[in-house]
Structure 1
């Protein structure tokens, strides 16, 4: 495995700046998730690291070596895309063997057989090895796509929203499997998603991107508990953070424009009156949608609450964040 360092990486496509001065260290064995909406620069970052594209400025090193002038093959990285990109006329076994048969790797036949069997067992597709790729379900095809990357044992695994096209249950199952695989291999993963649940559950570190700029980098817990801005605060957390006028509950810092309250940071039973507008029962918890001084906000409460729509609930902030007019944390 290897450490990956991006230093002041900038990339433009015509007049559009895709990345602007991005610097980031992906430690050896880390599972780093790049988080942000479409257009934030996530996939562009992967393309820079993989060698599918080159920076206009800055440098990227893998395992202490600059990647300038290196082809994707020379960088020893493996990439998994959102689309499965399998060879439909080949079996699962042949698809997984394909990268090992590269003239650059020159993998012995016995080693190919061993690696494919080992990875197929990890991904629970051993019984599918002789099936044609076209005979697989979507989840099985994505497992094969992931397996084709795992057999190579590259320096870095690059994954571009590999679970986004799967159904919810399969996404949840593969999240667990991917994290276990990464932990067991001690592998370095750079993983792109817009799904905050994937970021919270899999990442050792999260890079929050906004229009090509890295606005915060840290553990999921650090970003959740100490966001640097409204934008960063809104990337993690379900339900989303409540952003309200700074003085809605009373006096606020002089330069504060907004108060940010995580749903669990709204204390119930004390404070000022709020109207319960809607209740969502989710099994392990209940979400309350409230109206407070003509502002909507969401909080969470006990799964077995007796509250009903139309009830009055007293609330007050607990552990609030304050932000200035630019959305920067005070």
Structure 2
């Protein structure tokens, strides 16, 4: 195993800036997720660590050593590509066994067979070992590509969207399997690329959030969920997504308060690091809201805002209710039995705990300003 340090790497492809001063570190044995939308620079970052892309600036260190001049085949890193990159002329067994027959390992046939069999069983492709690649579905090819990585010893694993082409049921099962082996057999340093916040939250020891080639925040899943550094990071995690309301800060009798631009939302914002008069945006996660179909009082310590039902989405035992509060849309998920008679345009109330409100500055970075 080896720690990975990425320091100030920049990469341009023509006029496109793919990576812009990307820096982070991955501890020895840590499972680190890179999360971001398409085009954020996740794959380019992984390829820079692997040596398949040479950064224009910055350094990559493995186990404390600068590997800028080390060829990819000498870095002893194993990478799983989203595009599979399987050998079309080989069957599943030979694809998975190919790293074990390289000059680096040269394992005996019995050792290779044992390793491939164990890994194939773990990934649910043991019955496919004698099939050709052209006889596999995309999901099966994805698992074979992942198996070819996990079957071999390596200083670190670089997994680029390894579950992207699996159906929802299989993706959930494979996520659980990866979670199990990442805290058991797979104790190797791992960088895992994904656009799925659920994968990042459930698998990672720490997460790095990328946007347009820049690292916005690095932290544990709990840190990023509880204290997103800006509005983009807050919106990247959670479904239904966090609801935003634009407005400004005003002085109140008991401290600074937030008042929305349309006056429909007014709530105290304790611990905000800004002055009255500043334009801000607040964010409230759906799980921090409570629905009140009637006019009853809300529990002590909570603040009520009123609105109308915009849309109802029945999701089995739960119902997602989107409420229009002034010009803003806020979502809340409630048990189905709590909304039996609601319909569009019905008047309802929402209550929230002021301490659960995220406050962000207005502007290009929309940075967090609440503690």
- TM-score, structure 1 length as denominator? 0.94
CA contact (8 A) 1:35 1:235 kept: no
Instruction: Name the structure 2 match of 1:3.
Output: 3
Instruction: Name the structure 2 match of 1:314.
Output: 349
What per-residue deviation string (whole Å, max 9, x for no partner) do you get for residues 245-287 of structure 1?
Answer: 1322226662341011111122333323211122112234321
Confirm or deny that 1:208 pairs with 2:201: no
Q: Distance in 1 between matches of 2:128 and 2:43?
A: 31
Residue 296 (structure 1) aligned to one of 329, 339, 345 = 329
Instruction: Name the structure 2 match of 1:328.
Output: 367
Instruction: Name the structure 2 match of 1:182.
Output: 182
Tell me the secondary structure at the aligned position of residue 306 of structure 2: strand
Distance apart, 1:12 and its partner CA: 1.7
Q: Distance in 2 between matches of 1:81 and 1:35?
A: 16
Tell me the secondary structure at the aligned position of residue 163 of structure 1: coil
Range 133-142 or range 206-215, more displaced: 133-142
CA contact (8 A) 2:290 2:332 kept: no
- After TM superposition, list the pairs within 5 Å mapping 1:201-280 onto structure 2: 201-246=202-247, 247-248=259-260, 249-250=265-266, 254=276, 255-269=278-292, 270=298, 271-280=304-313
CA contact (8 A) 1:182 1:188 kept: no
Instruction: Name the structure 1 match of 2:69.
Output: 69
Q: Distance in 2 between matches of 1:29 and 1:234?
A: 29
Range 287-296 or range 243-252, more displaced: 243-252
**Unpaired runs of at least 5, structure 2:** 248-258, 270-274, 293-297, 299-303
Q: Distance in 1 between matches of 2:336 and 2:325?
A: 22
Tell me the secondary structure at the aligned position of residue 152 of structure 2: coil
Tell me the secondary structure at the aligned position of residue 210 of structure 2: strand
- After TM superposition, list the pairs within 5 Å mapping 1:85-234 onto structure 2: 85-184=85-184, 185-234=186-235
Tell me the secondary structure at the aligned position of residue 337 of structure 2: coil
Distance apart, 1:127 and its partner CA: 2.2
CA contact (8 A) 2:12 2:18 kept: yes
Distance apart, 1:226 and its partner CA: 0.3
Q: Distance in 1 between matches of 2:313 and 2:99?
A: 48
Tell me the secondary structure at the aligned position of residue 304 of structure 1: helix
Tell me the secondary structure at the aligned position of residue 257 of structure 1: strand
Tell me the secondary structure at the aligned position of residue 131 of structure 2: coil
CA contact (8 A) 1:83 1:162 kept: no
CA contact (8 A) 2:319 2:333 kept: yes
How many residues are matched? 330
Q: Distance in 2 between matches of 1:132 and 1:272?
A: 61
Distance apart, 1:147 and its partner CA: 0.8
Tell me the secondary structure at the aligned position of residue 55 of structure 2: coil
Large movers: runs of 4+ above 6 Å: none
Q: Distance in 1 between matches of 2:76 and 2:362?
A: 45
Q: Distance in 2 between matches of 1:57 and 1:112?
A: 40
Q: Distance in 2 between matches of 1:70 and 1:284?
A: 55
- Taking structure 1 as reference, are residues 84 and 258 closer, same or farther at Cα in structure 2, changes over 3 Å only? same
What per-residue deviation string (whole Å, max 9, x for no partner) do you get for residues 115-155 of structure 1?
Answer: 11221222222222222222223222211111101111211
CA contact (8 A) 1:257 1:323 kept: yes
Larger relative contact order, structure 1 or 2 (CA cutoff 8 Å, min sep 6): 1
Instruction: Name the structure 1 match of 2:250.
Output: none
CA contact (8 A) 1:288 1:298 kept: yes
| Bigger Cα Rg | 2
CA RMSD, Structure 1 to Structure 2 (Å): 1.7
Instruction: Name the structure 2 match of 1:24.
Output: 24
Tell me the secondary structure at the aligned position of residue 182 of structure 2: helix
Tell me the secondary structure at the aligned position of residue 82 of structure 1: coil
